[in-house]
Structure 1
Amino acid sequence: MKFLQSLENVATPANGLATTAGAIVSPVFHYFYGTNRQDILIVLIFIMVLDWITGISAAKKDQTYSSEYGLSRIPRTLFLLALPAVANLLDKVMGTPGFLFYGVTFGLIYHTWTSLTANAHRSGWPVPKSIVNLVGSEIKAKAERAARKDYK
């Protein structure tokens, strides 16, 4: 009897809604991104979050932060998250299992990594000299963009 009473806290409308949402979203996620690809997508999302954090810090440091610029980054981020899904669907159509998906996803990870590293350097955070040299062109491009008046 005690066991059944403890289920009252589990069988709630909120838990039922969350379970239903998960049952609907999971197959859609697997259709668009493929199965067993959660780890690489988590890496991509994690790096994007770090890029946002370092970008906000760098923009505040050089006083180029504006809410309009920050809000314009939301559609860009959603677009970047859609690219691996498009690549996966193209892989399905062309019969290339994962070739485009992994190529696009690793390309996005590398691009976002250079951006977050340049932002961290602009923020004054400790970045090894060898890494700064590797992303020097991105650091220069971000500094030039921040110096333009139309950027603010």
Structure 2
Amino acid sequence: MKHNTDTLWVSITGGGISSIAYLLGGIDKLLIAFVILMVLDYLTGVAAAIYDKKVSSKSAFKGLMKKGAMFSLVIVATQMDIILGNEGQFIRYAMLMFLIGTEGISLIENLGRLDVKLPKFLSDKFIQLKDDHDKFVK
């Protein structure tokens, strides 16, 4: 008798992905943009460290921990929207826009370390998304 483990694998991965999507408030264009910028920021950070000859596994791990903390902020914002009854997900959207701005600025800084020239309007847009950094808690 042949056992099929595909059903178990599909159940585990499907359940895991569904749980993550629920916690993050669903998978929409804003979340996808955030994840893309997050991955690009991490990759360009590693590339800049290689370029500067300052590669450190400790720094890379610290960067991954920061990315995980950002996801926890999205989860908290989503839960706040649920508690407050915000059907429009206002807090989640605001948090994602702030994090996209932060990741975009970091990406531009990494590209600058790689000697890549960028138009000023691009950095201005990310700064606009991030708002004034001094208004937020570090």
TM-score w.r.t. length of structure 2: 0.77
The range that moved more, 118-127 or 108-117, is: 118-127
Which residue is equivalent to 1:103?
A: 94
After TM superposition, give the deviation of residue 43 of structure 1 in Å.
Answer: 1.3
Alignment of 1:7-46 (within 5 A): 12-13=4-5, 15-35=6-26, 37-46=27-36
Return the letter of the residue paired with 1:19: V
In the alignment, structure 2 segments of 5+ residues that lack a partner are 128-138
Verify the 8 A CA contact 2:38 2:103 in the aligned structure 1.
yes
Asked if the contact 1:90–1:100 (Cα under 8 Å) also holds between the matched residues in 2, the reply is yes
| 1:19 CA drift (Å) | 1.4
SS in 1 for 2:80: helix
* Partner Cα distance (2:71, 2:122) in 1: 25
CA RMSD of aligned residues (A): 2.5
Shift >4 Å, 4+ stretches? 132-136
1:11-61 superposed Cα distances (whole Å, 9 cap, x missing partner)? 841x223311134224423431224x3332221111111001111122222
1:90 aligns with 2:80: yes
Distance 1:22 1:135, change over 3 A: closer
Identity of aligned residues (%): 25
Aligned to 2:136: none
Amino acid at match of 1:95: G
Change (3 A) 1:24 1:68: same
**TM-score scaled by length of structure 1:** 0.70
Query: Which residue matches 1:53?
Result: 43
Q: Which residue of 1 aligns with 2:58?
A: 68
Higher relative helix content: 1
Q: Is the 8 A contact 1:118 1:132 kept in 2?
A: no
Bigger Rg, which one:
1
